[in-house]
Chain A
Amino acid sequence: MSRQIYVARDFSKFPAGRFRSDGPHSGERFREEVLAPALRAGVPVTIWLDGTMGYGSSFLEESFGGLVRENGFLASDLHTKLIVRSNNDNSLVTEVWSYIDGAKTRGRPVSS
């Protein structure tokens, strides 16, 4: 069983910005308050990207690339734990994985 997270419902319809200091619906806030805690819970997580007004690359990179860079998740672990879905725009899913796979870790890796 996996946990379902709908960005529009569980975070904001207007995601935008990279850091918390950028604005109220930033990628950093989404990662720290929604995404990382869900992944740490140990169950697979499905993220639904539909229903928002759109996504800037800063938001997506900080949310998903930041999991590896800031939170120390391994990209290989995320491929098994995280499912990213979008019915409207599949290119967003590819983009998210490119950020995860392209991110370089800064912190201590989180053991799976």
Chain B
Amino acid sequence: MKKPTSKTRRHNIIVVRKRAARRDGAKRRLRMQCHRQERTQKHMRFARLHYAWITAPKQFSIENEASRYAVVRFIEELRGAALSSTSLPVRIDFSQTVSMVAGGTLLFAAELDRINALRPGRITCTWPANNRVAQVLKHVGIFEALNQPHKCKVTARDVKHWKVDSGAEVRGELAAAAMQRYRHLFLDEKQTLYRGITEAMTNTRQHAYEGERGDGFANVLANWWMFSEHRDKRLIVAICDLGIGIPRSLPKNKSGIWPQILKFLTNKQLLDEDANRIRAAIAVGTSRTNEEHRGKGLMEIRSVLDGLNGRINIYSNCGNYQYDAKTKEETCSNFPNTSIRGTIVLWNIPVEQRGT
């Protein structure tokens, strides 16, 4: 075997040293990676130990049974954890959430306001994985309610048109402001919607908070929350309250208007279902006051659609009443054990084809 020259020896030494350096670099990188992982895990262990974690639903919607169930369970869990005197601060994990829809988002925003009024500063959240969800949470004020520093910009066109207001009194100017944003509406459309919105606010004021809500916590806020959005040639306006719900607001004294209600619902057993109680309250035009001149608000809330077409959904406790003005079709659905503990009136009105 030929003896290596001094030059070859020097070259071999360099190669060996380079290999060793590469090996050391890889080891060092691996060490750093492990260290980072350990740090994250430690942080997560700390967070897991020091917060009660609640995972937000994939879809904030109350339109179908599965998503409604997920939203209601999430809110119940959140309320229970945040308002329990012994539990840890609550952290909402938004990593699974991919969609925010009007009714579910409004209900969540309203519940957060109530929880914050009862026990402020108990809930924080993680940053959502979905950018549009982050924009919605920022735009409707949920990040603010959760003390989450918001660094995202609201750029999505549909999100920009979302608007949430709330208040305790019947404020016509807020109803008017919600409609002024949609300039393509005609005056008579604005007046009709104004009528519906202010009647919904009046109903909240007079009937919604007449008793305990039934979740074990006090009624500290007797508010309404309003949501409006213009998207895909449709105007969506929703009013929400966290009160006793329409089914429970029917008169307690059965001597007054009840014969009419029972006449309307031929099968008395149907009265056990919340959606049918909503339908009866609209048709008979009554409230627990039992006074003839009152209780017409729900019919008026529905009659907003006369001449405008569109659709109205009245979600109250376990029921959902839907009326399609175009087909004049009424649909009642019940979701036992998934009460939203309150009422959401949601108008969905086509506007673009009549717009200027």
Contacts and interface: CB of A to CB of B under 8 A. Distances in A.
A and B held together in a complex: yes
B198 A54 contact: yes
B176 to A, nearest CB: 5
Interface string A81-112: 00000001100000000010011100000000
A56 B202 contact: yes
A57 interface: yes
Interface string A8-29: 0000111111110111111000
Given A12-B172, A53-B175, A17 B198 contact: yes
B7 to A, nearest CB: 95
Given A22-B205, A54-B191, A58-B297, A14 B172 contact: yes
A19 B289 CA distance: 14
Given A23-B171, A54-B192, A16 B206 contact: no
Given A16-B170, A24-B169, A103-B293, A53 B205 contact: no
Contact of A25 (B172, B190, B191, B205): B172
Contact of B202 (A17, A24, A88): A17
Contact of B176 (A21, A23, A53, A59): A53
A31 interface: no
Nearest to A60: B195
A22 B297 contact: no
A53 B172 contact: yes
Contacts of B175: 14, 16, 53
Contacts of A55: 195
Interface residues of A, number: 30
B297 A57 contact: yes
Interface in A45-86: 53-59, 61, 65, 69
State the main secondary structure of chain B at its contact with A: helix
**Which bracket fits the contact residues of B?**
20 to 34
B123 interface: no
B324 interface: no
B297 A15 contact: no
A7 B250 CA distance: 33
B42 to A, nearest CB: 54
A102 B293 contact: yes
Given A22-B206, A24-B169, A65-B293, A17 B201 contact: yes
A25 B172 CA distance: 8
Given A22-B205, A55-B195, A16 B297 contact: no
B243 to A, nearest CB: 15
B169 A54 contact: no
Interface of B: 169-173, 175-176, 187-188, 190-195, 198-199, 201-202, 205-206, 292-294, 296-297, 300
26 contacts: A14-B175, A16-B201, A17-B169, A17-B172, A17-B205, A19-B206, A22-B170, A22-B205, A53-B172, A53-B176, A53-B190, A53-B194, A54-B190, A54-B191, A54-B195, A56-B194, A56-B300, A57-B300, A58-B199, A58-B294, A58-B297, A61-B293, A88-B187, A89-B188, A89-B191, A102-B293
Interface of A: 12-19, 21-26, 53-59, 61, 65, 69, 88-89, 99, 102-104
Task: List 4 tightest A-B contacts by C-beta distance, closest first.
Answer: A14-B172, A17-B170, A54-B194, A54-B191
